[in-house]
Amino acid sequence: MDIKVFKDKLFKKALENGFSDCEIYYYSGKSIKVSVLKGEIEKFDNTTSGGLSFRGFYNGKIGYSYTEQISEDIIDKLIQYAKENSEIINEEEKEEIYVGDKNYTPIKTFYEKLEDVEVDTLIDKALKMEKAALNYDNRIVSCNYCIIGKASSEIYIFNTKGLELNKKDNYIIAYAGALAKENDILKSGMEIKASFDINDIDPVYIGETASKKALSYLGATSLPSKKYNIIFENECFTDLFSCFLGNFSAESVQKGFSLLKGKLNKKIASDIITVLDEPLKENGYNSNSFDSEGVACYNKTVIENGILKTYLYNLKTAKKDGVKSTGNGFKSGYKGKIGISPTNFYIKNGKKSLNELFKNIENGIIITEMAGLHAGVNEISGDFSLLASGYLIENGEKTKPVEQITIAGNFYNMLLDIKDIANDLKFDLSGIGSPSIFVGELSVSGE
């Protein structure tokens, strides 16, 4: 059943049954994923998913109901379930069904050419990735995973206040993992690439890079315990940064769970740190014209030259602070609750190359991998202690690989002490990004 026809019938009947303002949030998605092993297709997945949430005010209280079935037969049940739900929900802060904004900035998130990519093309690239990894060096003993896939989704938000919003997006992703062996020592490496254009997926580069990374860790040793100058490679700092994103949420601030409470317009980071949240970023992995509440998204500076300029708000938290929502009210799926999430959230590039950062370090480490991020990080206090690996930096040059070291520090203190930033900004698939960053000295436990 067409979603717009369904919406009209549902709203008409809900209003006749005593509801006032009503809203639906509809999601549908599909994905294709191919995995190869030893020159053969190991696994092929072709999945679809989707559903709809209905919410509305009944006797002044909001109720929810959900369905995966989009047909006229389900309308009565949706209305009845929402009525019953409204009777048991007791929230102190009243939710809002948003009237909408005058203007929504269009942003391209759907690429028609990507929809035309055939499964045979995906299989061919996956096989080439594996072959490139295995043929790179005779010490590569296996390509333990080699996967490529594409996905697309569509979202509709409609309400009885006249709001009608629609978003379609799609992307392609490929990743390979290689295993290198020397003197009975095994090391792994991985490379991942996501894009909106099949031509950006270079299977030879992905496979060979995974093998290069695996080989580069052969011969790794630990280090004496002491303080070292530390550079976090872009992907690593992104991972660490991601652990603390909840502190920028106005909800965390209002509940007293964030050390950023009371820090607006105050210095929380080094002068060279600027952090942006850009939902309107072209070719961003998390670009949006509107959030899950229907609020128009806009680009914003969160930290400017070390000064905290704003928290991230949804409608509920914005109302509590007497400000406008920042358009960061998102939910994870059609059944999810509205929370607060960043979009394309990143630390702005510096001016130097990574090699130029090395030049100023006589004795240090570049961290390229970390483990135990959830167990080893205290999001509230900022303290972290993480098992890590990377490469020694000696006299301004990256030299031998290191492993079995533990780095420890405090994230908030580290932000204030950052010494320099590279110009190699890289995003993860959730839209969080960072360049490589020289943070100064940290305590390292090794041998």
pLDDT tens figures, 295-327 = 999 999 999 999 999 999 999 999 999 999 999
Distance CA 316, CA 250 (A): 10
Tally Cβ neighbours within 10 Å of residue 118.
Answer: 10
Q: Residues with Cβ < 8 Å from 124, sequence gap 6 or more? A: none
Q: Residues with Cβ < 8 Å from 252, sequence gap 6 or more? A: 246, 258
Cβ atoms of 55 and 83 closer than 8 Å: no
pLDDT tens figures, 355-382 = 999 998 989 999 999 998 988 999 999 9
Q: Out of 165, 197, 214, pick the residue that ends a domain.
A: 214
Same structural domain, 168 and 279: no
Same structural domain, 393 and 439: yes
Tally the domains of the chain.
2
Same structural domain, 277 and 190: no
The whole-number pLDDT of residue 150 equals 97
For all residues of the chain together, what is the average pLDDT?
95
Residue with the two structure tokens 């269009």: 106
Same structural domain, 180 and 300: no
Distance CA 180, CA 171 (A): 30
Task: Give the pLDDT mean for 59-86.
Answer: 93
Residue 237 belongs to what domain range? 220-447
Smallest CA-to-CA distance from 362 within 397, 399, 398, 395 is with 395
Same structural domain, 210 and 225: no
Q: Is 61 left (phi over 0), alpha (psi -120 to 50) or beta?
A: beta
Q: Out of 159, 188, 214, pick the residue that ends a domain.
A: 214
pLDDT level of residue 92 (50, 70, 90 thresholds): low
The whole-number pLDDT of residue 415 equals 97
Q: Which two tokens stand for residue 48?
A: 């679809």
Same structural domain, 360 and 429: yes
- Collapsed DSSP state (helix, strand, coil) of residue 430: coil
Same structural domain, 232 and 86: no
Same structural domain, 177 and 77: yes
Same structural domain, 206 and 283: no
What CATH number did the domain enclosing 118 receive? 3.30.2290.10
- What's this model's pTM, rounded to 2 decimal places? 0.94
Distance CA 284, CA 279 (A): 8
Smallest CA-to-CA distance from 187 within 139, 233, 235 is with 139
Query: Which amino acid, 306?
Result: G
Same structural domain, 229 and 178: no
Give all strands of the β-sheet with 307-308 in edge-to-edge order: 307-308, 300-304, 275-277, 345-347, 432-434, 426-427
Q: Out of 174, 196, 214, pick the residue that ends a domain.
A: 214
pLDDT level of residue 446 (50, 70, 90 thresholds): confident
Distance CA 398, CA 319 (A): 51
Q: Residues with Cβ < 8 Å from 255, sequence gap 6 or more? A: none
157 φ/ψ angles, rounded to the nearest 5 degrees: -125, 125
Distance CA 290, CA 100 (A): 10
- Rounded to the nearest angstrom, the gap between the alpha carbon of residue 284 and the centroid of all alpha carbons in its chain is 11
Share of the chain above pLDDT 90, in %: 93
pLDDT level of residue 88 (50, 70, 90 thresholds): confident
Same structural domain, 13 and 146: yes
Q: Which two tokens stand for residue 422?
A: 């590279």
> Residue 241 above 80 pLDDT?
yes
pLDDT tens figures, 149-159 = 999 999 999 99
- Rounded to the nearest angstrom, the gap between the alpha carbon of residue 293 and the centroid of all alpha carbons in its chain is 19
Radius of gyration of the chain (CA): 25
Distance CA 238, CA 343 (A): 14
Same structural domain, 161 and 235: no
Task: Give the pLDDT mean for 220-246.
Answer: 95
Kindly list the distances between the CA atom of residue 355 and the CA atoms of 231, 361, 397, in Å, as whole numbers in the listed order.
11, 10, 8
pLDDT level of residue 89 (50, 70, 90 thresholds): confident
pLDDT level of residue 389 (50, 70, 90 thresholds): very high
Query: Which amino acid, 109?
Result: T
pLDDT level of residue 93 (50, 70, 90 thresholds): low
